[in-house]
Amino acid sequence: MSQKKIGDVVLNVQDISLRFGGVTALTNISFDVREHEVRAIIGPNGAGKSSMLNCINGVYQPQEGSISFRGQTFKHMNSRQVAEMGIARTFQNLALFKGMSVVDNIMTGRNLRIKSNLLMQAIRNPFSIGGAQKEEEAHREFVEHIIDFLEIQAHRKAPVGQLPYGLQKRIDLGRALAMEPQVLLLDEPMAGMNLEEKQDMSRFILDVNDEFGTTIVLIEHDMGVVMDISDRVVVLDYGKKIGDGTPDAVRSNEDVISAYLGTSH
Amino acid sequence: MAFFLEALFGGLMAGMLYSLVALGFVLIFKASGVFNFAQGAMVLFAALAMARFSEWIPIWTGIHSRFLANVMAFVLAAALMGIVAWLVERLVLRHLVNQEAVTLLMATLGISYFLDGLGQTIFGSNIYPINVGMPKDPLMLFERTFDGGVLLNLEDIYAGSVAALMVAALSLFFQKTATGRALRAVADDHQAAQSIGIPLNRIWVIVWFVAGITALVAGIIWGSKLGVQFSLTTVALRALPVVILGGLTSVPGAIIGGLIIGVGEKLSEVFLGPFVGGGIEIWFAYVLALVFLLLRPQGLFGEKIIDRV
Amino acid sequence: MNKASANLATVLVMLVSSLSVSAIAQDKQQYFPLLTFRTGPYAPSGSPWANGFVDYFKLVNLKGGINGVRVAWEECETGYATDRGVECYERMKGKNGGATVFQTMSTGITLALTERGMADGIPILTPGYGLSASADGEVFKWSFPIGGSHWASADTQIQYVAQKVGGLDKLKGKKIALLYHDSPYGKEAIPVLAARAKKHDFELTAIPVSHPGVDQKAAWLQIRRSRPDFVLLWGWGVMNSTALKEAQSTGFPRDHVVGVWPSGSDSDVKEVAGAAGYSAVLVLPGPGFESTIAKEVREKLHSKGQGSGPKEEVGEALYMRGLMNAMVAVEGVRRAQEKFGKGQVMTPAQARWGYENLQIDDKRLSQLGIADVMQPLTTTCKNHMGPSAARAYTWNGSKWDVSSEWLHADPAVLDPMIKAAGDKYASEKNLTRRTPADCQS
Amino acid sequence: MLYRENGQLKTTYGADQQIFPIAQDRWLIWALIAFAFIAVPLLADEYLLRAILIPFLIMSLAALGVNILVGYCGQISLGSGAFMAVGAYGAYNMLVRIPGMPLIPALILGGLCALAFGILFGLPSLRVRGLYLAVATLAAQFFADWIFLRIKWFTLDSPSGSVSVSNLQVFGLPLQSAADKYLFCLGMLAVVALLAKNLVRSAIGREWMAIRDMDVAAAVIGIRPMYAKLSAFAVSSFIIGMAGALWAFVHLSAWEPAAFSVDLSFRLLFMVIIGGLGSIVGSFFGAAFIVVLPIFLNQILPAAGAIVGVNISTAAVSHAEFMVFGALIVWFLIVEPHGLSRLWSIGKQKLRIWPFPH
């Protein structure tokens, strides 16, 4: 348990409802996320956890409700804005850029910060005419720090497609970190990992949370992990919120036990 | 007025034929998720086979009834399309399972080039007639009401009704027969279909075969109208907007789309064409489809796609 | 199965000929590249044309070549596509000691090659087609639309229509539709017809048909609406038969459809049930199944299984045109040899002189065995086309019947246009007209 | 043992980021460039230059453009021919209508026309994907075919509808001999290729590939699909447009819309597939392949036929050409989806570890 001071609310979700045609994915979900905390969203499959993140990311547009980030309130988000506001995200089923090398994948996380325009990039050259090359090198340096942090130096140049699952998950995280996010949304970062990999990953998450003070919103199945590393937990079931509070509070919540813990393991 | 009717009618008939070709696209796309660019090449190939066989059979067998010769030619050509279907599955699709749609599209581009070459190598590249005894002369209606009357084309009517029959037959095949149901299952979800023991490979062969037959029918109709020649392949390019308009996955879409495109392009050509120098029908059809695409990406009857992350 | 066996024959012959060509590679040979198209939408027109070409060359070699100089030829498939044509040109112009002359067999390719011909000093031979303006020999030193051009076709075509209605004066107030292949070839028709329309005030509407010309429904709907008295057909390849079928299915009387030579071959009408009554005005040779040369081909080549195409094709209009094309090419060299030395291999420049001073009179024509289907050819430095004669043929359902006297393109109409076009070209490319002195070269 | 990177330690990221990190590659490429610029014009004969090398250079340029769109950004296009046409006619009008317009600016302006056209027909890519987009680009193809055929203004009302350019000049030097033309095309290609390479290895290139590989993820990390796609369309069609202008001016010198038919679009697509999607060098391989293959078949098949005693007619050859093209496309898609360029890099890899297998 990290001994850090929890700040005030950064991200606030108010009665979000999301429908696909007839199917209702989310109904009136509200919860808030405080600065520096690790916030977990749990729930059985199809509870709408990923949909929730997709709403925050602006991948899906909820029909009702609003999301406010640092005071600004949005009817629905636009991915670009979200990214600019400093919300990064990893994906449940890997969404890496298979055709690109590890370095390039993580470099894409820096793209928002790249200033030089298309033409400058076109005339990029070693003789520092036009800033493009210098800029590339600067960002590359930052990326190298992340690579060190995630202990994947050896795989730098490898095409991500060829790397084992666990590593790919790390690179996914690395790409998100490259954005220097204030809030980091992690969609099942440990799904399908063995114990060791899980430990590594939770270590990374906590480090990120401590060292960079990044706020973390975490979707996870593994109750053990969740209870260990998260400060507060939201429980979703069939697109409804059935619990919200500290791990212990949630653990003792009747609905949750019946709906979730009861059914799954 | 009379003229408008004629243009309209001509458009409808052309549309019927487009939809027949479009049908081939839809069938294959539904069942294998492949956007079969080779449909046009198949039309040419099938038509060439039909034309040449009906010419050769009397020489080989000494049968001189044209009817018999045509029937045998049809059977042979159909068999040939069966072989083509089998080979395509064997040599191409089988090796490209679970590739992105675009890769498959390019593959079919390759197939179409191959078929074009093969067809002309085997059957030659001149104009060959297909004579299934379609009436050639026009039919005049309402000569009293309008000066000059309204010209109807018997051949078009026959062609149209054959196309309609074909469509009906296919929808029956899809709704009633076991294979049809299997095809629909495959169309809905490959994995699921496989898991309940539907052999994908066989299904694909069947679908391509059926598509081959539609190609053959389309080829015969166009062939007997215009003669069979390399330029038949352009028919496929004319039918693409139809598929886009109707939606890749919808049989009725192909029909309606065909009619809309057919009428649209003919009317545009005869009424707009003269003001802009004519020859607008091809791109008009495409632009029509394109505009439509922007309003409704999944087409007239296509299902909407939601991508999950 | 006759086609197949014919193919086999072709194969064998070509083998033989190719061997013979390679065999005589060392002794003197005059190299003629051919830009043919036996594939694609225009193959139906291209194949017989090319076969005639090749057969004539075979005949020449059988008869001991051009005063002993053997003819070597090579086909390059253009598919009637301009860029392929350019590639072929570049590929073949330097081969076997240099191409004598290029026959593009396509107006589009002609346009692309005209300038290259000038630059490389290789004559471009386009009897009956090509760039009509290039009849102006003072500007187009290297281009030879010998014996006719598309403008000549258009002019004679109108003359024939006039004959049908009973005189040029009767054209007044008539409605004439031009259904043309939307390519440089088809467009060549317009200027002359427009000029004629002004002169005799008849109403001309031009209806383009896009490549390859298989969908003409809309076009014929327009024709049916405007109900013209005549339809002038300027089609090519598959477009022709399609046009005639559409004419039938829209009930337009075929005997009021008049074509030009690219629309007047057997492959255009044979398979069209309702084509009877359609007539075409063919500049240069028409069909000549009974012509001496056709007989000669049959007995000297086909009887020995050496014919290039199917036997029944020998004598078809386009086949005869092929023979004629090759004949002009060879005769030019023959003429050049008279000046530069009999039995010598002519350089392109020398051959050019031959083409510029061609004198093929009736006597020569009958020696060549083609007298009964075409008229004499003469060219001069000023005029690379010379007199242009055409004759109308009408399809009676089974064969073409001659249906007019020889019609001659009217210099009064063409010459000013040619002169004007020549000047325009010269000014664009800043060329100066050739001096009489240059004409001697 | 020659091809080794041992001891070539990178001390700066700059050094690690250069186009050819391995010294041998750098030497090789300089040697190649020198050879292409100096030796080839001296050694190659007229025919080789005009019939093979010049078309190869121009087609490589075009393929490069197509590859940026299809290979890097994953937006399939069947309308490349149209972009070439727009470039060609654009440049033509600039050259003819504006007195004293020099060649290179005309080409660039032509490219810009194509760029505008490309963006216009790229707009559908914001709404539709893959197959549908392919059809959308076909619309561009047929539309271009039509305007240049029917709208006389573009062809300066030339009665034949075919246009031509002559006595071209670059900086006052005439562009007449095959060698000159070759060098000119080579120069253009070299410059554009370098710029393109820079783009694809920089931020914009990463945006394109991100959109290609996983567009949702790309959007989430702040890449605007609209900007990425349209910029890809813009850059690609600009390059294709210039290639079109070169094709028309330098190679054909007189042309008609048919020279840029849908056929050409397919051929360009084939070049990229065979050469290697998402690889600059692949574009060259692909172009070389497609340009040389027909000529090769034309030479070989009849000869081969003669050996076994069959004579192959020109028709048969061009049919065979169709079949070979088709078969090759399928073969590459199945066996080596990354095309010749992948085979090339595999070869290099082998060479690098030679003689030790691992």
Distance of alpha carbon A148 from alpha carbon A152, whole angstroms: 6
Residue D33 lies in a domain: no
Mean pLDDT of C301-316: 89
Residue C49, helix vs strand vs coil: helix
Looking at residue B26, its pLDDT comes to 85
Summarised one tens digit per residue, pLDDT across range C93-117 is 888 888 999 999 998 899 889 988 9
CA distance B261 to B240: 10
Most confidently predicted of B71-80, C206-215, D162-171: B71-80
In a domain, D320, yes or no: yes
Q: Is the pLDDT of residue B129 over 70?
A: yes
- The reply to whether D191 falls in a domain is yes
Which residues in chain C are contacts of B59 at CB distance < 8 A? 1-2
**Distance from C-alpha of C282 to C-alpha of D118, rounded to nearest angstrom:** 45
Count: domains in chain D: 1
| CB contact at 8 A, C402 and C286 | yes
Helix (H, G, I), strand (E, B) or coil at A173: helix
Q: Tell if the CB–CB gap between A95 and B306 is shorter than 8 Å.
A: no
Q: What is the CATH number of domain A1-86+181-265?
A: 3.40.50.300
CA-nearest residue of chain D to A136? D202
Residue D112 to chain A, least CA–CA distance (Å)? 14
Band of pLDDT at residue A20, cut at 50, 70 and 90: confident
pLDDT at C18 over 60: no
Q: What confidence category does residue C24 fall into, taking pLDDT thresholds of 50, 70 and 90?
A: very low
Residue B148's pLDDT is 64
Interface test with D, best of C8, C82, C215 (most D CBs within 10 A): C82
Judge contact between C314 and C288, C-beta under 8 A.
no
Query: What gap in Å lies between CA B309 and CA B50, rounded to an integer?
Result: 49
Give the best-scoring range by mean pLDDT among B285-289, C130-134, C175-179.
C175-179
Other Cβ atoms less than 10 A from the Cβ of D293: the count is: 16
pLDDT at B59 over 90: no
Q: pLDDT tens digits for A190-221? A: 888 888 888 888 899 999 998 888 999 999 87
- Domain containing D189 equals 50-353
More confident residue, B238 or D57: D57
Chains touching chain C at 3 or more Cβ pairs under 8 angstroms?
A: B, D
Element (H, E) at D273: helix D262-275
Q: Going by beta carbons, is chain A in contact with chain C, meaning 3 or more pairs sit under 8 Å apart?
A: no
How far apart are alpha carbons B215 and B220 in whole angstroms?
Answer: 8
3-state DSSP assignment of residue D107: helix
Q: Above pLDDT 90, what percent of chain B?
A: 20
From D295, which residue of chain C is nearest by alpha-carbon distance?
C91
Q: Which of A91, A111, A176 sits opposite D206 (nearest CB)?
A: A111
Residues C151 and C188: beta-carbon distance below 8 Å: yes
- Tell me how far apart the alpha carbons of residues C307 and C287 are, in angstroms, rounded to a whole number: 18
Residues of chain D with pLDDT under 50: none
Enumerate the residues of chain B whose CB falls inside 8 A of the CB of residue C1. Answer: 56, 59-60
- List, in order of start, the domains of chain C with CATH numbers: 2-149+287-388+420-440 (3.40.50.2300), 151-285+390-410 (3.40.50.2300)
Cα separation, A247 vs A249, in Å, equals 6
CA gap B141, B149 in Å, rounded: 6
Residue A261 has pLDDT above 70, yes or no: no
With 0-12 CB in 10 A as exposed, 13-18 as middle and 19+ as buried, what is B154? middle
Q: Which residue of D has its CA nearest to A142?
A: D13
What's the pLDDT tens digit per position in B143-175? 666 666 677 778 888 888 888 888 788 878 877
- DSSP, residue by residue, B13-38: HHHHHHHHHHHHHHHHHHHH----TT
The model's pLDDT over D217-269, given as tens digits with 9 standing for 90+, comes to: 999 999 999 999 999 999 999 999 999 999 999 998 888 888 898 889 999 99
Write down the domain spans for chain A: 1-86+181-265, 98-179
Residue of D45, D166, D302 with shortest CB distance to C115: D166
Chain B residue whose CA is closest to A54: B309
Instruction: Look at residue D279 and tell me if it is in a domain.
Output: yes
- pLDDT for A125 equals 83
Q: Quick: pLDDT tens for D146-183.
A: 899 888 899 888 777 788 887 788 888 888 888 999 99
**According to the model, what pLDDT value does residue C23 have?**
42
- The stretches of chain A forming alpha helices (DSSP H) are 49-57, 79-85, 102-108, 118-122, 132-149, 165-177, 195-207, 223-229, 247-251, 254-256
Q: Do A20 and B309 touch (CB under 8 A)?
A: no
A vs B: CB pairs below 8 A: 10
Percent of chain C past pLDDT 90, that is, above it, reads 61
Q: What are phi and psi of C360, to 5 degrees?
A: -105, 95
Higher-pLDDT residue of A125, A41: A41
| C257 vs C2 pLDDT, higher one | C257
Tokens representing C351 are 């051959």
Contact C83 D310 (CB under 8 A): no
CA angle centred on C408, ends C405 and C414, rounded to 5°: 155
Chain B from 286 to 305: CB within 8 A of any A CB:
304
CA distance B307 to chain C (A): 40
The mean pLDDT of chain C is 88
Q: Does B277 touch chain C (CB under 8 A)?
A: yes
Spacing of C-alpha A75 from chain mean position: 21
CATH number of the domain where residue D342 is located: 1.10.3470
State whether C248 and B278 contact (CB < 8 Å).
no
Q: Is any Cβ of chain C less than 8 angstroms from the Cβ of B229?
A: yes
What digits encode the pLDDT tens for the residues B15-49? 888 888 888 888 888 877 788 889 999 999 999 99
Confidence category of residue A171, pLDDT binned at 50, 70, 90: very high
CA angle B300/B302/B308 to nearest 5° reads: 135
pLDDT attached to residue C21: 44
CB contact under 8 A, A97 and D218: yes
Mean pLDDT of chain B: 83
Check: complex ipTM more than 0.95: no
Q: Indicate which of B54, B154, B230 best probes the interface with C, i.e. most C CBs within 10 Å of its own CB.
A: B230
Q: What is the pLDDT of residue C3?
A: 46
A residues 38..77 contacting B (CB < 8 A): 50, 54, 59
D226 in contact with A, Cβ within 8 Å: no
Q: C17 pLDDT exceeds 50?
A: no
- Nearest residue to A35 via CA among A215, A161, A192: A215
A66: number of Cβ within 10 Å: 16
pLDDT confidence of residue C9: 47
